[in-house]
Each structure stands twice: as C-alpha cells, then as structure tokens.
Structure 1
C-alpha cells in the first residue's frame, strides 16, 4: 500500500517548463552600381563580373552581373544572380543551422535616378534555398533588357544602380522557465520542417547500387561496365529508349532473361560514368571541378556524349562551362566542337574572342589550332575571313 501511494504521488507530480522560440524576419539590401554601361554591353556573352562580398541579413553575399546575359537569357537582356559567400571567411558556403530549413526571398530592382526601385523592373523570388548544392546562385537570367534600361531614364553618366533585397527568417534565443509544481503537462505545438529535396541523392544511391537491382548493363569497353535502370534511362534519353526497345525486341519474351546489355563505343568509360551520374542526379560529378585544363577536356567529351544521347540540358551545362573557359589555347578546339554539335552561343563567344586585337595571331600559333586545321578546313577559312574583315 505504501509503495502504491508513492508511485501514485510520483505519477501526479510533473515538471513544468515553458520556452519561447522567437522567430523574426531579417532583411537587408545592397546597391550595386554598374559604371561603364556602354563598355559592358560590348563584353562577351556569358562574361560575368562579381561584386565584392557584402553583409546583409546576417550573412555574407556577392552579386554576379552578366552584362549580356547567361546562357538562357534572351538577346539584349542582362542577368543578375545572388550567391552565398560565407565561405570567404573560412566557413562553408551554407546558411546557419537555424536558417537552412527556410527559403530565402530575394528581390532585384532597377533604381531610378532618385534611388527608388522601379516596380516595372523589379523581379522577386520567394522560395529559394541556398543550401541545395555548393555555390548555387539565385537570380534572373532575363532581369531587364538594355533597351528598357535606356527607355526607363535610369541610365545617367553611363551608369545604373541595381538593388538586391534579401529577406529570411531566423530563430533567436529561447527563454526557459522550470517549475516542479504538480501540473498537467501541456504539449507544445509541433512545427513541420520540410527540408530541401534530396531526390537526386536517392537516385544517386540507385546508381551506386545501394538499393534494389539493375536491369541494364552498359558495356563501355575495356572491361568497364555499369549497372543502370532501363526505365530511368529511357525517360531521360530518347536514344537510350530506342536502344532498349530494340534490345528487348531482339531478345524476345520467352524464358528467364538477365540484364539487357547495351554496348557503347566511342565514349571513354569515365565519361560514360559522368553521363550516368547526370542522368540520375541532374548534376555534374564532383570530378568536373578539376584544374582548368582537365575541366575543359572533360566538358568537351561530356558535351559530345550529351549531343549523341540527346541529353539537351547536360549539353547546355557543358556549353556554359566551355564559354567560361575561353582562352588562346582553348578557343580553337571549343569553336570546332561548337560547329560540330550546333552550339551557337559557344561558337559566337569563340568568334568574338578571336576578333579581339592580337588574339587571332596568337590563336593560329597554338598547337591545338594546327591539330584542328587539317581536320576542319572550314574553321581555318572562317578564321582567315575574320582576319581580313
């Protein structure tokens, strides 16, 4: 009886506590002045300029300005993007733990001569996550056209100002009160936290054979084989879809069948592996962030593979990488590749680089140019015409 009474008393007694999670919206803005607009408009397409890092809304950021737009921009449009730059001070380029479950709202505005945002030329995005992958940027490929800038009256003394507003929510300190009086415990309301999508990680796990079984074996030659899932290959690439359909028809429907084997010739095994990584995750493999010379070689090979298998987005990603790696030693090879696979933006960027004073002579003296000269005489003629123009 005594023991029962003690247990009953303990059951009636509870520890009461109360806490407050204070959530506040943190905002900040940065004004970026573009001085020398006339010269900016003559720069190469995809050429970008980064602002110095600045602090706003409790984090460090930088703005990327593309005077003639990124790869997806319409003709005559400028592009602006915001990038998290916390890593410049030694930390990883990620939001704080308290912030990384919530989207960031960003807004870019063209300012009039009095420093006021023009609603007509204001673009905003309210659900951007900067923690999805390293160095990701949020912004607008078609922010505003130069023609509209001129008509707006914002252009003065060959300069314009663009404002970037940043808004996010943060958790602040908790106040906790403990009370051991007898009480009826009250449950705090639950907060649902929806993390960024990690579908690409799960699909990447499928590629690494961490889950399930594969029904396709890709033979890349040299003893290199890769397991894959036919349904995913078919959805992503019409070429793979046709090859799988042909292989299935050839094998017939009788008996127990093993994995469908697809032989791939003319693509290096490591490029096949990189292409499969993109098919499953929609991202480039980590090894693409190599030294510039190696990165260019990989981007070229991967672009050719993407064109062959009609992976249009991968082709554009590689084209953009090559546009950002134009130099005397690479422009001839990039131009030949652009002509071969119909990469119009890359071809235009290459020809624009060659047309600059002194560049044509330097390009024609490179080892790469002489290698291409024999196999692509049309390219050689184009360069000569450029010189005579």
Structure 2
C-alpha cells in the first residue's frame, strides 16, 4: 500500500484596482506642478497613487503623456506587479498600455525614482485624439496593483485529486430554450411563435407565474398572445430568463441594439425582472449621445430608473449639449409629455459651481 503526501509553497498576493478620471484632457496642465496625483488608494496594506503628467516627463516627451504608479506609504518597501491601462469608453473595457506582470517591481518610498514605476512615453497625444479612449474630453486611466507578500510553506497533507467541473446549470437551461420538444406553453408575438416552459418562467418572474396560472386555470390555454412587443425583444427576454444573460446581438448596428435594449428595459419592468432592468440601464448609460439622450431620459423618468435618469441629466448639463439636443424631434416629444426631467437639467445647469480652495 502506498500513500502520497504534499506540501506547498505559496506566494500571498493582494490585488486592487483604481480608476483615475482626467476631465478637460485638452486643457493640459493648468497647475503649478508638472504632474497630477490621483486620490490615494490602499492595496496590500500600502497607500498608492496614480501619477499623471499631461505634458510628458522628459526632455523630448512633450508629445506624450506620462503615467506612473507611486508608493505613498512613508518608510515602506513593497513588491508589486503593475498593470497600467486605458478605458475604452465605447465598450467600457480596459486595454493594457504597459505592464510588469512577470517579475514584481520593488518599490521604496525613499525617493521618487524608487517609489514609482510606469512609462515616460505612456501614449502619444496624437494617438489619443479621436480614439475610443477619449470621450467628451475625458480620459480614464486604470491601474491594477498586485502586492506580493512573503512566501508561505504549508505542512504535509494527504493528496487527493478529484476534478470538479464548473457549474453548468445555466448551460442546460439554455439548451432547454432551444429544444421545443418538452415545451408546454407557446407565446405568439406579432406572428412569430416562441415555445417555452411554464415551470422555468414561473420560477423566474412573478408576473409570468400569475399570468400562466390564470391562463391554465380558466381555459387550459397553452398559447399566450403578447401584445405591444417586438419579436426580437421577447426573444431577448426569454434568453435572459433561461440563461441570466443577454444575447450578443452582434448582427445589429448600434442604433438597432440601442432600440432593443430600450424596449427590453420596458419588458423587464413589465415582467418584474429587476436584474434585467439594471443590466439594460447600465448598457444605456454607456451609450448616451446627443441623438438618444432625450428618449432615454424620458424612458428613465417613466420607469423610475433613478441612476439612469441621473446619468442623462449629468450628460445634458453642459450648455452646448443642451443646445444640440433641443434641436432634435425627441426633445420636443419629451417636453410635451415628460417635462419634469427637463426641470432637473435646468436646475442642475444653473447651480453655482464651487470654487476650488
């Protein structure tokens, strides 16, 4: 009889992420210093800041911006991996510009050179112009810091290797949606038919539960007609009910996807799907522009989407945007049927700004 034991040597790490938003990017450096520090953030028991140099940090770096991570804790030494990124303001995804993710960098607070790590020529100003990283004259820098602590060696233990597959319940539910053989209810939406399963719908939505219960109890109907909803929207709604996620919608352009998400938000409210409602609000917040903000603001006001409404109001506060939106047909419709959000915009735009100390 043989036995196997194991011990392990593990490096303890702590990871944190901080985003630094640079507003009025085109104004450059308006202070007395050559750099601007972000607010301090803590990772692994140390205080850190992002250092942003709008006019570069070097003799020939005027055409670039410089970005560094700086250890701010006094009399401290830290070992950390660093990933400096820019946020794509169309997709919301982060793109690595420079990173040290193989050998930890040694930070010492004794001097600026030893306390910082980054890139003098982080990215050129020419590359940033009209890029996805710059929106409304705003740039967002993200820094992921992984602090590496001391090694720890565990004691011996018996070694058993049993591989457990990842959870796959949602995958099976997704297959159920595609397999109509065991469906027990059918929805008819503007001439298109969607088979589904009463048990799944009732478990996910209190509205579906009540609706299907009434239909089957009163007249044993297995067919439900859905009015005032487009087939693409109902299909996306079912996809969420079965998979807890949204379909990719890669075949739609931006305006078409925007319209589907707006209608899907209304459907989420109609069927009591709070998570789907919040997912739609998040997507619409990321897609605000002069053409659609009036429609989305009216939608947010009608369905009590407070965060989405606040995002729309903030978007409209700059006077040049308000002037552009006022020329759209949707603005006239909102002014006629939903005037209260416009009062919020007017009040916020007229609110005096605090002078910096």
TM-score range, shorter chain: 0.5 to 0.7
Q: 1:202 & 1:385 partners in 2: Cα distance?
A: 51
Which residue in the other structure is 2:267 paired with? 305
Which residue in the other structure is 1:154 paired with? none
- Alpha-carbon deviations, 1:323-345, whole Å to 9, x = none? 11111112111110100111000
Q: 2:300 & 2:143 partners in 1: Cα distance?
A: 35
Which residue in the other structure is 1:219 paired with? 188
Which residue in the other structure is 1:163 paired with? 145
1:349 is displaced (CA, Å) by 0.7
1:215 is displaced (CA, Å) by 0.6
1:386 is displaced (CA, Å) by 4.8
| Contact 1:306 1:315 survives alignment (8 Å) | yes
Matches within 5 A, 1:315-334: 315-334=277-296
Q: 1:386 & 1:283 partners in 2: Cα distance?
A: 35
1:336 matched to 2:295? no
Aligned residue among 303, 312, 320 for 1:350: 312
Structure 2: segments with no counterpart, 5+ residues: 1-7, 21-35, 40-66, 68-80, 98-106, 112-140, 150-158, 352-357
Which residue in the other structure is 1:361 paired with? 323
Alpha carbons of structure 1 residues 112 and 235: separation in structure 2 relative to 1, 3 Å: farther
Aligned residue among 206, 223, 226 for 1:264: 226
Aligned residues: 238
| TM-score normalised over the length of structure 1 | 0.52
SS in 2 for 1:287: coil
- Alpha-carbon deviations, 1:302-335, whole Å to 9, x = none? 1010010010000000000011111111211111
Q: 2:274 & 2:250 partners in 1: Cα distance?
A: 18
Alpha carbons of structure 1 residues 260 and 163: separation in structure 2 relative to 1, 3 Å: same
Aligned residue among 196, 206, 225 for 1:228: 196
Q: 1:327 & 1:82 partners in 2: Cα distance?
A: 19
Which residue in the other structure is 2:163 paired with? 193
Alpha carbons of structure 1 residues 33 and 310: separation in structure 2 relative to 1, 3 Å: closer
1:239 is displaced (CA, Å) by 0.5
Alpha carbons of structure 1 residues 286 and 265: separation in structure 2 relative to 1, 3 Å: same
Alpha carbons of structure 1 residues 322 and 204: separation in structure 2 relative to 1, 3 Å: same
Which residue in the other structure is 2:55 paired with? none
Q: 1:200 & 1:113 partners in 2: Cα distance?
A: 49
Structure 1: segments with no counterpart, 5+ residues: 1-22, 39-51, 53-58, 66-80, 89-110, 116-158, 168-188, 253-258
| Contact 1:326 1:350 survives alignment (8 Å) | yes
1:237 is displaced (CA, Å) by 0.6
- Alpha-carbon deviations, 1:213-260, whole Å to 9, x = none? 111111112x211110101100111110010111121026xxxxxx62
- Alpha-carbon deviations, 1:78-125, whole Å to 9, x = none? xxx997x79x9xxxxxxxxxxxxxxxxxxxxxx99789xxxxxxxxxx
SS in 2 for 1:358: helix
- Alpha-carbon deviations, 1:25-67, whole Å to 9, x = none? 68887886845547xxxxxxxxxxxxx9xxxxxx9977688xx
- Alpha-carbon deviations, 1:135-174, whole Å to 9, x = none? xxxxxxxxxxxxxxxxxxxxxxxx998623599xxxxxxx
Alpha carbons of structure 1 residues 113 and 316: separation in structure 2 relative to 1, 3 Å: farther
SS in 2 for 1:226: strand
Which residue in the other structure is 1:293 paired with? 255
Aligned residue among 205, 208, 226 for 1:237: 205
Q: 2:164 & 2:147 partners in 1: Cα distance?
A: 24
Q: 1:342 & 1:64 partners in 2: Cα distance?
A: 33
1:381 is displaced (CA, Å) by 4.5
| TM-score normalised over the length of structure 2 | 0.56
Q: 1:317 & 1:269 partners in 2: Cα distance?
A: 20
Alpha carbons of structure 1 residues 82 and 274: separation in structure 2 relative to 1, 3 Å: closer
1:299 is displaced (CA, Å) by 1.1
